[in-house]
A and B are shown apart, each in its own frame.
Chain A
Amino acid sequence: MTTLTLEHVWKRFGSFEALKDINLNLPSGKMITFLGPSGSGKSTMFRLVAGLDDTTEGTVRFDGEDVTRLPAHKRNVGMVFQNYALFPHLNVWENISYGLKLQKRPKAERRARAEELLDLIKLPHIADRSIKQLSGGQQQRVSIARALAMEPRLFLLDEPLSALDAKLREHMQAELCDLQQTLGITTIVVTHDQREAMTMSDVVVVIDQGEVQQVGSPLEIYRKPATPFVADFVGSSTLLEGIARSDGTFEFNGQSLKVTAPDWASRDLTPGLLCLRPEQLHLAPRSAQTPNAIDVDVSLIRDLGSEIEVQARAGEYEFLVKESSGQPLGYGVGDKMRLHIPETAHLIRA
């Protein structure tokens, strides 16, 4: 069990700042994801943690111990790579016991450990196969076994599921979670897939443009996005631009909406963004005079079977509303409706 701490970490490639003053303190024994789009710096951060790249500035600590200058091969981290990176010149058990062989452990011990790990990943009997004979999913598991063979302090996975097909991916997500819980090992997964991050992790670190945008549980990230980027990147949302006040009102388009006042809102004019999630919203006829609502036009209706997605417009804004498919909607495309804004809607400082 290892806690991971990053203090004022910078990474520059020439004049390009890949990471800007990263400060993180991640709990031990948890499933952590680094979530961000391509080029956000998440992979850079991941490689710094693994020791595969040097930090330009700052400190990386495992359990408080400074490992910044420790090269990867002395950090004892287990890594799983996007394309698995199983050594093609070694067979399955030789791959798994590669690290043990470097430590000159006797062959019997290495073999036993490999078998034990193969049992753990539910692939017994393939110890002597060559890598080429394995399917993608099998290679994935073997690379997990190899990463765990040395009982690493941290378990690091780089886009581990991206090469698998959709069905296998969901299956492996569940299995990885199980594995992590059984072993209780601090695990970091890099992903650009927000659904994956939401379903798998205890803690999500959202990264964009070399900066940490938010750290929190999946639910926090979803319900209370800290920045417009997080609101937009995680799940779908509509952000209304307006002015937040400490009396719990949000000025939008000349209208005053009632919301829960965040602590940063003041009596003065503080620009803010109201984050509206599809499942928080619902539509009512104009005639109903719904309070705390804005006028919208229905522009698109999509029946997904399990639910109905409705798109509505108000000026330049487009809203996504999810309605249950149980009963008839009672309105159609082109209808003029009222969109109810819940008081619980989250306000982001612009």
Chain B
Amino acid sequence: MTVQDTTILRPIPRFRGVDHKTLILIPPGIMLLVFFLCPFLIMGAVSFYYRVPDGFYEPDFVLANYAAFFDPVFLTALARSLTLCAVISVVCVSLAMPFTYLVSRMRRGIQVPIVILLLCILTLSEVILGFSWTILLSRTAGVSNVLVWLGILDRPVSYYPSRIAIMIAMLHFCFPFAVLTIYPPISRFDRSLPEAAATLGAGPIRAFFTVVIPALRGTIISALVLVFVFALGAYLFPQMLGRPADWTLSVLITDQAIYKSNIPFAAAMSVFLCLICFALIVGVGKLTKKSEG
């Protein structure tokens, strides 16, 4: 088959006998619509409900839950969350770009174990990772002991609770996600480009910054956004490794929903968070599509 013919034939789906086969979409459709879409719609509705002071809520249409956003506590938490996640995202992607690029050019025998390591950390519970970091940054078992042993410190200290602790843990948590987001486009990246740069006299590091990075601009932008959103989702690290003053939006939502029993306010914050993430992802999707198309 010739190239042109293929492209003509490809997009034409074969509808012969499809009608009754689409019936198999009903069970998955029900599952997703009932158990996934419904919860979000209900949550949206609840965000406008009236909160009964003793803990529950009743159907109503009040904007009080959204008005509560103008509370300085919420605003600072919002600003803190956004800055923290932006910093994490930039650092993660900056570290992940050369890492992924280098790994994608390594032997399969090295790539596979590294991918397994990344997957392990990506899938590990924040609970376990948070627990590990509390040990690692603690006085009795942490890195400060190594520093004492090296003679840098006089006696071991605890590095948490602190903002740095949260940042280190989140960096660790988000890094595998960043790598796996940019791995597919980097592995598909045309090797002849850096090679061409090499023949023109660019060393590997220069080739990376002058050829690889500019060519993957779209990838980098979407990775920044995805990692940012992923970091926004961290809910345990700020609790385990920080003080209440360091809590992010995700923690506040949990806190309002579970401990303060203010579900309508939690729902309102949640809806707000969803909208931010949606806007970012859809926006960047449009942007990269435009620059690629």
A interface residues, Cβ below 8 angstroms from B? 13, 16, 18, 37-39, 41-44, 47, 53-54, 71, 82, 158-159, 190, 192
What CA separation (Å) do A131 and B109 show in the bound complex?
24
The interface residues of chain B lying within 8 Å CB-to-CB of A38 are 2-5
Cβ < 8 Å to A, chain B residues 12-31 = 12, 14, 16
The interface residues of chain A lying within 8 Å CB-to-CB of B9 are 13, 43-44, 47, 53
In the complex, the answer to whether B16 meets A16 with C-beta atoms within 8 Å is: no
**Known contacts A54-B16, A71-B16; is-contact A44 B3 (Cβ 8 Å):** no
In the complex, the answer to whether A39 meets B5 with C-beta atoms within 8 Å is: yes
Q: Which listed residue (A16, A71, A192) contacts B2, Cβ 8 A?
A: A192
Q: Which listed residue (B1, B4, B8) contacts A82, Cβ 8 A?
A: B1
**Known contacts A44-B9, A47-B9; is-contact A190 B16 (Cβ 8 Å):** no
- Nearest-CB residue, chain A, relative to B17: A71
The interface residues of chain A lying within 8 Å CB-to-CB of B16 are 54, 71
Minimal beta-carbon separation of B50 from chain A (angstroms): 55
Excluding A39-B5, A54-B16, 14 further A-B contacts by CB distance (< 8 Å) are: A13-B9, A13-B12, A18-B8, A38-B2, A38-B4, A38-B5, A39-B4, A42-B2, A44-B5, A44-B9, A53-B12, A82-B1, A159-B1, A159-B2
- Nearest-CB residue, chain A, relative to B11: A13
What CA separation (Å) do A89 and B4 show in the bound complex?
29
- Nearest-CB residue, chain A, relative to B8: A13
Minimal beta-carbon separation of A52 from chain B (angstroms): 8
The interface residues of chain A lying within 8 Å CB-to-CB of B2 are 37-39, 42-43, 159, 192
What CA separation (Å) do A18 and B5 show in the bound complex?
9
Minimal beta-carbon separation of B8 from chain A (angstroms): 6
A-B contact pairs, 27 of them (CB 8 A): A13-B9, A13-B12, A16-B8, A37-B2, A38-B2, A38-B3, A38-B4, A38-B5, A39-B5, A39-B8, A41-B5, A42-B2, A43-B1, A43-B2, A43-B5, A43-B9, A44-B5, A44-B9, A47-B9, A54-B14, A54-B16, A71-B16, A158-B1, A159-B1, A159-B2, A190-B1, A192-B2
Minimal beta-carbon separation of A44 from chain B (angstroms): 6
The interface residues of chain B lying within 8 Å CB-to-CB of A18 are 8
What CA separation (Å) do A38 and B1 show in the bound complex?
8
B interface residues, Cβ below 8 angstroms from A? 1-6, 8-9, 12, 14, 16
What CA separation (Å) do A213 and B4 show in the bound complex?
19
The interface residues of chain B lying within 8 Å CB-to-CB of A158 are 1
- Nearest-CB residue, chain B, relative to A14: B12
What CA separation (Å) do A91 and B2 show in the bound complex?
28
Minimal beta-carbon separation of B80 from chain A (angstroms): 52
Minimal beta-carbon separation of B207 from chain A (angstroms): 34
Minimal beta-carbon separation of A22 from chain B (angstroms): 15
In the complex, the answer to whether A44 meets B8 with C-beta atoms within 8 Å is: yes
What CA separation (Å) do A158 and B5 show in the bound complex?
12
The interface residues of chain A lying within 8 Å CB-to-CB of B1 are 43, 82, 158-159, 190
What CA separation (Å) do A37 and B2 show in the bound complex?
8
- Nearest-CB residue, chain B, relative to A158: B1
What CA separation (Å) do A168 and B8 show in the bound complex?
30
The interface residues of chain B lying within 8 Å CB-to-CB of A16 are 8
What CA separation (Å) do A161 and B2 show in the bound complex?
13
6 closest A-B pairs by CB: A39-B4, A38-B2, A43-B5, A43-B1, A38-B4, A158-B1
Which of B3, B4, B8, B16 counts the most chain A CB atoms within 10 A? B8
The interface residues of chain B lying within 8 Å CB-to-CB of A13 are 8-9, 12
Which of B2, B3, B4, B14 counts the most chain A CB atoms within 10 A? B2
What CA separation (Å) do A348 and B228 show in the bound complex?
70
The interface residues of chain B lying within 8 Å CB-to-CB of A192 are 2
Minimal beta-carbon separation of A212 from chain B (angstroms): 16
What CA separation (Å) do A283 and B5 show in the bound complex?
43
The interface residues of chain B lying within 8 Å CB-to-CB of A159 are 1-2
Minimal beta-carbon separation of A131 from chain B (angstroms): 20
What CA separation (Å) do A38 and B2 show in the bound complex?
5
What CA separation (Å) do A192 and B9 show in the bound complex?
18
The interface residues of chain A lying within 8 Å CB-to-CB of B3 are 38
- Nearest-CB residue, chain B, relative to A52: B14
Minimal beta-carbon separation of A337 from chain B (angstroms): 40
What CA separation (Å) do A71 and B14 show in the bound complex?
11
What CA separation (Å) do A82 and B4 show in the bound complex?
14
Minimal beta-carbon separation of A163 from chain B (angstroms): 12
What CA separation (Å) do A44 and B14 show in the bound complex?
14
